[in-house]
Structure 1
């Protein structure tokens, strides 16, 4: 007779309650990522220097980074949660005696950033989604959201030198390392934001992210419209994209807006209602804000911001993929 341990009893109860991490494991072939992760995190890259902690499984560390992004945790908080939560350890595949510490988590994420190949992970999974027929290619929805980071309390003179890419006097090496000179300020609806933007193109039917781009916050949404969209598919976007070009043979459906002394006609209002019904399906940022605790960024610099956004968008697609599979859908073909 098999006697259940306390841990097994807890895990069994979590399964009964519907553990979302267990649902991901049920549909995901995580081995898909291993060859690319091995290339990025191989020992020849010397991710852990001499005297550091021993090599840890690449796939385990990748899942740690995804779990960290899911709960929007700092490195120290991630280490604590791995030590504290049995379900977290089961998901990433570690035990109490080999939980990665905060420094190791930072090193692996930084190595991913230094590789400059983080988007290959997103593209790899997107290829699987496409091969399984989960991308309908009957329309695409474009939108953007701010990625806020720590606000920079610089003087006007310091900001001018930063914009001119000049050395700021009084900033020693330690202070420069804490200054984000890539992020920019912008304003929307009377509220000021500092940081970056996550621009996404979403498949109209599947709600899966097809493409994305990362810019500073001050870059207007419309500036990356053409590069996000696929040719020969209708594009649905809001009034921020009025008058902007899309790829050849794309029907461009944009929310119309009123101007001074030129109110919307009944026809315009009807068109807007139609587009709004399509665009309301874009719940990407709703999921990110509610289920992934937002998309704030604790790091510094554009390169690390791209890694953060890549993990965010990849994780969204993984959760959406799980939902599609759970609902029994197979293919749009």
Structure 2
């Protein structure tokens, strides 16, 4: 991700509003802007063809991120943290991975792949199985593509957690309030797999 305005909320207007507490209270001085890149599909130019091709699009986003560590067998959010949208995902790995995991393997997106993170996982008895990044200016090798595909099959089982929350608009004017609201959303989500697992074990 690319931060497009790191100092949002700290500009001259903030100082000018010091004598207007009501107006200043409505300004979010903790959130940040970032740009998220995604793939978009569009029809090919051939009139008789129904094929599509994908291209990158940049989506500006303002607010906060919910970083979560999810239990693979049961789908529970075990640990989470909240940062501004411009914060790098990889720096939050140790804040969302529980050291007392009963399993040792940790799956994550390529943003979390770094020598520092892998060394931290290994020091804590955990095995990193993190997506590999595509080499700059080079196509991804078949071996790397297959390895990432294997990882994606595991990660896809927990992607619905974020799919459920991504469309929920978070409008707060303080990181503390944002953290509280995201935390409540995480707790509420955990009730869904809990009820499902309880239903499986209930006597007929």
Fold match (TM-score > 0.5): yes
User: Over aligned residues, Cα RMSD in angstroms?
Assistant: 2.5
Q: Which of residues 22, 25, 28 in structure 2 aligns to 1:180?
A: 28
Q: Which of residues 239, 242, 245 in structure 1 aligns to 2:113?
A: 242
Query: Partner of 1:318 in structure 2?
Result: 191
Query: C-alpha distance in 2, partners of 1:260/1:160?
Result: 29
Query: What is the CA-CA distance between 1:234 and the residue it aligns to?
Result: 1.1
1:235·1:250 contact (CA, 8 Å) conserved in 2?
yes
Change (3 A) 1:222 1:266: same
Q: Which of residues 250, 260, 264 in structure 1 aligns to 2:136?
A: 260
Change (3 A) 1:166 1:160: farther
Query: C-alpha distance in 2, partners of 1:323/1:308?
Result: 24
Gapped regions of structure 2 (runs ≥ 5) = 38-57
Query: Partner of 2:152 in structure 1?
Result: 276
Change (3 A) 1:329 1:217: farther
Query: C-alpha distance in 2, partners of 1:253/1:165?
Result: 45
| 1:92-127 superposed Cα distances (whole Å, 9 cap, x missing partner) | xxxxxxxxxxxxxxxxxxxxxxxxxxxxxxxxxxxx
1:60-209 → structure 2 map (5 Å cutoff): 162-163=9-10, 167-170=14-17, 172-189=20-37, 190-209=58-77
Query: C-alpha distance in 2, partners of 1:200/1:213?
Result: 7
Query: C-alpha distance in 1, partners of 2:179/2:17?
Result: 29
Higher Cα Rg: structure 1 or 2? 1
Query: What is the CA-CA distance between 1:273 and the residue it aligns to?
Result: 1.1
1:185·1:217 contact (CA, 8 Å) conserved in 2?
yes
Query: What is the CA-CA distance between 1:164 and the residue it aligns to?
Result: 7.1
| 1:223-251 superposed Cα distances (whole Å, 9 cap, x missing partner) | 11012112362110111112141432211
Query: What is the CA-CA distance between 1:210 and the residue it aligns to?
Result: 0.6
| 1:201-220 superposed Cα distances (whole Å, 9 cap, x missing partner) | 00111111110001111101
Change (3 A) 1:307 1:259: same
Query: C-alpha distance in 1, partners of 2:202/2:10?
Result: 50
SS at match of 1:262: coil
SS at match of 1:327: helix
SS at match of 2:201: coil
| 1:258-311 superposed Cα distances (whole Å, 9 cap, x missing partner) | 22343322221121111000000112112335xxxx332233101100110111
- The 4+ residue runs of structure 1 with deviation greater than 6 A are none
SS at match of 2:16: coil
Query: C-alpha distance in 1, partners of 2:8/2:164?
Result: 38
| 1:132-163 superposed Cα distances (whole Å, 9 cap, x missing partner) | xxxxxxxxxxxxxxxxxxxxxxxx9xx95843
Given the alignment of the two structures, is residue 210 of structure 1 paired with residue 60 of structure 2, yes or no? Answer: no
Gapped regions of structure 1 (runs ≥ 5) = 1-155
Given the alignment of the two structures, is residue 288 of structure 1 paired with residue 136 of structure 2, yes or no? Answer: no
